């Protein structure tokens, strides 16, 4: 009996640590927009902010890339797709959207991704989708209509909304690629290695797209205004690189190792709420009552759509049971986050 009690206690402790790490990851990811928007308003192009974020994080992750260099030979297509969609595509579309619409709205639209994954499962992979999943899609679409206030003639910038939706579509690519990476059994790629090379590939792609040699580097030597307060631009950049990217990814991976991907995904949904609250407190952005209600419905619909997907679908980016147990034995797992 003491042995059983000890084992249960250890599992509960591990679950508590996992929930804490998942919450840290959600807070870290949610804080990216509020730190990036002042830099954009100070004169940096959104793509240049994305390039600084991804390139800085890639440099930090170089040691992990060297450690997992065998992935270049084993899974080049996975690494390339991950870098193009999950890193470059998501970040470029999201940060470009930030220059045109509020942080909370951009992130809430991005969280349509779980519902879009179900469309991929049903119409591309031709797998069954439950009624609860379909309900999640309807709720997400209805909530989005409230967020953008369609009754007022599309109150937000249409291009900004399309860019945020583009970020959601790139998130779909992330889930699909993660599913392909997880069905390799014993040869499943280490998620930390995939993240490291994804950042490196994303940095290369964004270098060609953003052309940082034309960036106004002097902005980083001055301060940016955050809701009336002057903050050193370099401090905001360090936050984006180390906290909102490196810490966010690493704590997210570690949390999924201790939790099921579904539980970690639910906690990660707090990112949208955290981003909205931070934008309200730090940037002075306010949402109307219908927009707040719509945002809650979007999150509810995305949660229902993701959690009710059939087993083995692309909506769950973790490996199957056997592969997941093998990864856990090696101390790694597939992260179900961007």
Q: Alpha-carbon dihedral of residues 210, 213, 219, 225, nearest 10 degrees? A: 0
Rounded to whole angstroms, how far apart are CA atoms 170 and 163? 11
Average confidence (pLDDT) over 120-129: 78
Rounded to whole angstroms, how far apart are CA atoms 221 and 145? 41
Residue among 84, 82, 58, 68 at smallest CA distance from 187: 68
Residue among 93, 98, 90, 89 at smallest CA distance from 40: 98
Rounded to whole angstroms, how far apart are CA atoms 313 and 277? 33
Which region among 10-14, 239-243, 330-334 has the lowest average model confidence (pLDDT)? Answer: 330-334
Given a contact cutoff of 8 angstroms between Cβ atoms, the answer to whether 61 and 199 are in contact is yes
Does residue 226 sit in helix, strand or coil?
strand
pLDDT given at position 158: 86
pLDDT given at position 315: 38
pLDDT given at position 15: 67
Which region among 58-62, 68-72, 90-94, 180-184 has the lowest average model confidence (pLDDT)? Answer: 180-184
Average confidence (pLDDT) over 140-151: 72
pLDDT given at position 271: 76
pLDDT tops 90 at residue 220:
yes
Which region among 74-78, 168-172, 225-229, 281-285 has the lowest average model confidence (pLDDT)? Answer: 281-285
Length of the chain equals 338
pLDDT given at position 221: 93
pLDDT tops 60 at residue 57:
yes
Average confidence (pLDDT) over 36-56: 92
Given a contact cutoff of 8 angstroms between Cβ atoms, the answer to whether 102 and 285 are in contact is yes
Give the angle 264-265-267 at the CA atoms, nearest 5°. Answer: 65
pLDDT given at position 323: 36
Average confidence (pLDDT) over 229-239: 94
pLDDT tops 80 at residue 273:
no
pLDDT digits (tens, 9 = 90+) for 85-100: 988 998 888 878 877 8
Higher-scoring residue by pLDDT: 167, 171: 167
pLDDT tops 50 at residue 249:
yes
Average confidence (pLDDT) over 43-52: 91
Percent of the chain with pLDDT over 90: 25
Report residue 265's pLDDT band, with 50, 70 and 90 as the boundaries: low
Average confidence (pLDDT) over 267-286: 76
Report residue 310's pLDDT band, with 50, 70 and 90 as the boundaries: very low
Average confidence (pLDDT) over 31-58: 91
- pTM here? 0.73
Dihedral sign, Cα of residue 73, residue 78, residue 82, residue 84: positive
pLDDT tops 50 at residue 325:
no
Report residue 238's pLDDT band, with 50, 70 and 90 as the boundaries: very high
pLDDT given at position 222: 92
């Amino acid at each position: 009996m003491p042995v059983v009690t000890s084992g249960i206690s250890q599992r509960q402790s591990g679950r508590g640590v996992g929930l804490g790490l998942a919450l840290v990851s959600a807070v870290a990811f949610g804080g990216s927009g509020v730190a990036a928007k002042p830099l954009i308003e100070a004169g940096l192009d959104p793509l240049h902010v994305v390039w600084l974020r991804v390139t800085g994080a890639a440099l930090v992750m170089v040691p992990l890339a060297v450690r997992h260099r065998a992935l270049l030979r084993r899974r080049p297509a996975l690494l390339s797709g991950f870098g193009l969609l999950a890193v470059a595509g998501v970040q470029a579309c999201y940060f470009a959207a930030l220059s045109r619409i509020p942080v909370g709205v951009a992130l809430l639209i991005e969280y349509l991704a779980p519902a879009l994954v179900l469309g991929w499962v049903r119409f591309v992979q031709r797998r069954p989708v439950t009624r609860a999943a379909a309900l999640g899609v309807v709720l997400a679409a209805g909530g989005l209509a409230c967020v953008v206030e369609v009754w007022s003639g599309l109150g937000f910038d249409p291009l900004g909304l399309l860019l945020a939706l583009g970020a959601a579509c790139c998130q779909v690519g992330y889930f699909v690629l993660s599913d392909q990476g997880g069905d390799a059994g014993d040869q499943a790629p280490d998620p930390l290695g995939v993240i490291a090379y994804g950042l490196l590939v994303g940095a290369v792609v964004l270098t060609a797209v953003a052309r940082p040699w034309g960036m106004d580097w002097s902005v980083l030597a001055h301060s940016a205004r955050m809701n009336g307060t002057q903050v050193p631009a370099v401090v905001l950049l360090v936050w984006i690189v180390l906290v909102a990217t490196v810490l966010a990814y690493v704590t997210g991976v570690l949390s999924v190792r201790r939790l099921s991907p579904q539980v970690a995904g639910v906690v990660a949904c707090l990112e949208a709420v955290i981003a909205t609250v931070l934008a309200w407190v730090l940037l002075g952005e306010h949402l109307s009552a219908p927009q707040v209600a719509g945002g809650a419905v979007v999150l509810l619909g995305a949660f229902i759509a993701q959690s009710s997907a059939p087993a083995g679908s692309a909506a769950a980016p973790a490996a199957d049971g056997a592969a997941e147990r093998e990864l856990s034995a090696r101390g790694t797992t597939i992260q179900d986050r961007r």
